Structure 1
């Protein structure tokens, strides 16, 4: 028996990937410090699948704790989610972001190398494309991050690329996410942000459930069909399937490669708000406010490389996204608490 180790496995994307891996017949270990997650998420994954997850509390900045995992369990591959992810916070605490996101990955890879475990899927971000203007964005788009969070993801990509160049026995897939949204259709697991959400969908669901009075929409004068910003929203279930596909890919196509995980479809903020209200028959009051500095009008993926290379593409619709988001929120108004 061998295991797939998920760093940050109890988080939003980690827990959904754990669910997908268990359903695909894999054995899973979660290594998480629970700074922005809850062990309750993985308890619910176990209930959904009837399978157990080895849950270890630890920090990727702690090589002793990481070493203990590899000493005790036969790990065959690692999916590396653990990291900090708030753009605004990263501008206030850049050293923390570089230490955790870049330094944590270096420590993880050092321990992996010690145990000759060299299959790695890395959780990157479309923020590495900066304020690129020409959507859809292929993987060949120049990378120019615009904030410490994006820069920490890009620097980590450089670290992993140099690691592969130095030792071709490594197999590394870098996955650049666009905008993860939604929840498992069961309503048992979903996005549970600490404090003020960083993303659109938790704001919408918290307004719909009565936790917030209204949604703020930043800008209505963009050169888009309805004037609001257009982004690429990917259902978290599809995103989780992308990680399973990436692990299969590494077993057949060793090396280093980057893939966009997105739908390839641009949806505006009002597209999301209106679909949420219509599908779920619930009001979402909103207010138009000024644009945010640095926001671009249109930003969405060219996912054709993932379709060809990983045999993966999104399957969930906008209706699925808004239905599953509301199903999670109304059943868990306070998240996992």
Structure 2
């Protein structure tokens, strides 16, 4: 079975390609390499023994997208990751986010419809819940006004998918992730943002290894136990495995309705300072961090109620916080060593 993974050289995409190949799927990747590198394909091959096919183009290009799907009209499903994903950047560059995240999705759906490809797994986000009224957050929680253009693109994307499903034979599963961190145990793939990281853990590891002078903690005056925001951190490999289960569920015709939604999290929230302390414990290092003002677009606290995913998908996040940050640190060290060896 062939699966198309858009954004498959990216952070979550590359880990999902590994898990798909481990389960015997044939994988095609489309990526514009705007926030990743073609070398990732080499590392996926080292891990799995199989090289996925990579085509480099931008899914915002309607003609190139249509051409790709016409040439590959035998794919059994699409897992769509390709999107910009930084909350802070989306506040500064909203039009860039709307164009990239929404136009690419519309081009994919149009091509799926035209080539009778029915199965779409969509990379969604807990940002669709905004600042929730109740914690933990279940799939029944109301979709509130997004706190950022990024979050809004995820909300609108889900609406576009639902409307398309009503008017076609396409089926969709939206996986709403909480905060993915960590890296593959091989340390061959991990989170590698180009430029300054927008996410906490790569900023921690880059500060620890000396690339960044200081880690900024955005706000310590939130109504939480230590004043810093709380998130549900999930290991990227646990997350990747859920995508394989979702694809399988579609192919085997086990969906209960044409559009399904699942929260992917651990069900436990950790504050920014707790993540820093966990990292210091596993690495034996003291981090240079500084409390600064709040960042626009950040919610106060959010963590998942993953019981529906646990029950319905038979999936459960297995790795704890210390294991997550340890794997991220192992990846960072391996990556920097590889760079140094090249010089």
Q: TM-score, normalised by structure 1?
A: 0.95
Q: State the match for 1:291 in structure 2.
A: 294
Alignment gaps of 5+ in structure 1: none
What does 1:250-329 align with in structure 2 at a 5 Å threshold? 250-251=250-251, 252-254=253-255, 255-329=258-332
Q: Secondary structure at the match of 1:316?
A: coil
How many angstroms does 1:293 deviate by?
A: 4.0
Identify the residue that residue 75 of structure 2 maps to in structure 1: 75
**Change over 3 Å in CA distance of 1:40–1:316 after alignment to 2:** same
Alpha-carbon distance in 2 for matches of 1:130, 1:334 = 39
1:125-140 matches, within 5 Å, as: 125-140=125-140
**Matched residue of 2:266: which SS?**
coil
Q: Indicate the residue corresponding to 1:245 in structure 2.
A: 245
Structure 2 distance, partners of 1:24, 1:57, is: 25
Please name the residue that 1:198 is paired with: 198
How far residue 68 of structure 1 moved from its aligned partner, in angstroms, is 3.0
Matching residue of 2:236: 236
CA distance in 1, matches of 2:200, 2:147: 20
Deviates more, 1:222-231 or 1:36-45: 222-231
3-state SS of 2:163 partner: helix
**Partner residue in 1 for 2:150:** 149
Q: Map 1:174-189 onto structure 2 (within 5 A).
A: 174-189=174-189
Contact 2:214–2:289 under 8 Å retained in 1 = yes
Q: Please say if residues 9 and 30 of structure 1, whose CA atoms lie closer than 8 Å, have aligned partners that are also in contact.
A: yes
CA displacement 1:202-236 (0-9 Å, x = unmatched): 11001110111221112223333323221100110
Q: TM-score, normalised by structure 2?
A: 0.93
Q: Give the SS at the match of 1:193.
A: coil
Assess if the C-alpha contact under 8 Å between 1:131 and 1:294 holds in 2. Answer: no
Counterpart residue number, 1:172? 172
| Inter-partner Cα distance in structure 1 for 2:274 and 2:192 | 23
- What is the alpha-carbon distance in structure 1 between the residues aligned to residue 331 and residue 218 of structure 2? 25
After superposition, the C-alpha distances for 1:136-178 in whole angstroms (9 at most, x for unaligned) are: 11112111212211111110100111111223x2220001111
Superimposed CA distance per residue, residues 100-156 of structure 1 (whole angstroms, 9 cap, x where no aligned partner): 111111111111111100100001111111122422111121112122111111101
Partner of 2:93: 93
Confirm or deny that 1:110 pairs with 2:110: yes
Match of 1:14 in 2: 13
Matches of 2:93 and 2:293 in 1, distance apart? 25
Residue 27 of structure 1 corresponds to 26
Bigger shift: residues 289-298 or 87-96: 289-298
Deviation, 1:270, is: 1.4
Q: Contact 2:41–2:51 at 8 Å: present in 1 too?
A: no
Secondary structure at the residue paired with 1:300?
A: coil
Paired residues of 2:131 and 2:300 also in contact (CA < 8 A): no
Cα displacement (A) at 1:245: 1.1
Deviation at 1:242, TM superposition (A): 1.0
**Structure-2 change in CA distance of 1:299 and 1:243 (3 Å):** same
Q: Is the 8 A contact 1:60 1:107 kept in 2?
A: yes
Task: State the alpha-carbon separation in 1 of the partners of residues 198 and 11 from structure 2.
Answer: 13
